[in-house]
Amino acid sequence: MRRDRDRQSGDVRAAAKSCCDRRGPHGMLACGARPVEGNTVTSAPAPGSPHTEALSHKERMLAGEHYLADDPELTADALRAEQLADRYNATRAGDQRARDAILRELLAEVGEEAVVRPPLRADYGYQTTIGPRTFVNWGLVLADVGRVTIGADVQIGPNVQLLTPTHPVDPEPRRAKWEASQPITLGDNVWLGGGVIVCPGVTIGENTVVGAGSVVVRDLPANVVAVGNPARVVREI
């Protein structure tokens, strides 16, 4: 039984390559890091359990538990975020006051002098905070089902993706549309080059630089340069 489970886990990792090769919380597949020993449950929570019955799907999502995204409350929240992003992306060049107002309505917190160039996309917006003096170039994707925390003085290049959602390995709960998330944290003064993808559950330490096109699947310490797919530390700063 253990041998079969190990073989199955190895097959999943081989098929998924460097991204999506860890079983995350609740057996969800987290884009990137290694499998956690003993964390191999791959089914959704029992619908009749007292804990899950007591929570709405939005409350489950905010707690990082399994939830269904087509829940009416979450559908309305996603529509709100899409509409605000549409307004933001339609603002005129140079109208920073309008952009600031919409961004603060969309996101949970935006620090002073933070700049986010449109276009911008977010799942919900209210799960994301951006610290002061942070600069975000065009095309940021915030898959903020889980919490996304962006520190102060962060530099984010064009077309960066911050991806918190996770999905079950087993086909049936995935077909039933159960999902969960793991948070992403970018420390102060981090620089992400263009096209970087940050996978669920990743924390990047302060001052760290991630080269363009890298896929970050594991935590990165502070004060290093990391590049590649998967991103690996190549030197200290």
In this predicted structure, which of 43-52, 56-65, 144-153, 182-191 has the lowest mean pLDDT? Answer: 43-52
CA distance linking residue 115 with residue 122, whole number of Å? 16
162: exposed, middle or buried (Cβ count in 10 Å: 0-12, 13-18, 19+): buried
Cβ neighbours for 52, distance < 8 A, ≥ 6 positions apart? 45, 46, 60, 65, 66
Q: What is the pLDDT of residue 188?
A: 98
> Would you say residue 43 has pLDDT above 50?
no
Q: What is the pLDDT of residue 52?
A: 55
Q: What is the pLDDT of residue 51?
A: 54
Taking residues 7-14, report their average pLDDT.
Answer: 38
Q: What is the pLDDT of residue 203?
A: 98
> Would you say residue 19 has pLDDT above 80?
no
Of 75 and 25, more confident: 75
Q: Which of 26, 57, 66, 167 is catalytic?
A: 167
Cα distances (angstroms) measured from residue 225 to each of 26, 129, 204, 205: 32, 24, 11, 11
> Would you say residue 160 has pLDDT above 80?
yes
26 catalytic? Reply is no
201: exposed, middle or buried (Cβ count in 10 Å: 0-12, 13-18, 19+): buried
pTM beyond 0.85: the answer is: no
In this predicted structure, which of 38-52, 82-96, 112-126 has the lowest mean pLDDT? Answer: 38-52
Q: What residue has token string 């549409």?
A: 86
Q: What is the pLDDT of residue 45?
A: 53
Per DSSP, the residues of 187-219 read -TT-EE-TT-EE-TT-EE-TT-EE-TT-EE-S-
Q: What is the pLDDT of residue 33?
A: 35
> Would you say residue 116 has pLDDT above 70?
yes
Question: Quick one: pLDDT band at residue 103, thresholds 50, 70, 90?
Answer: very high
> SS in 3 state form for 140-165?
EEEECCCCEEECCCCEECCCCEEECE
The two tokens of residue 94 are 């140079």
The two tokens of residue 129 are 């905070």
Average confidence score pLDDT of the chain: 84
Of 101 and 39, more confident: 101
Of 51 and 74, more confident: 74
CA distance linking residue 38 with residue 56, whole number of Å? 28
CA distance linking residue 187 with residue 205, whole number of Å? 5
pLDDT, tens digit, for every residue of 180-237?
Answer: 999 999 999 999 999 999 999 999 999 999 999 999 999 999 999 999 999 999 999 9
Q: What is the pLDDT of residue 182?
A: 97
> Would you say residue 10 has pLDDT above 80?
no
Q: Nearest 5 degrees, angle CA 201-CA 204-CA 206? A: 150
Q: Any bridge partners for residue 115, and if so which?
A: 135
Q: What is the pLDDT of residue 54?
A: 86
DSSP H helices in the chain: 2-16, 50-53, 57-62, 72-89, 96-106, 171-175
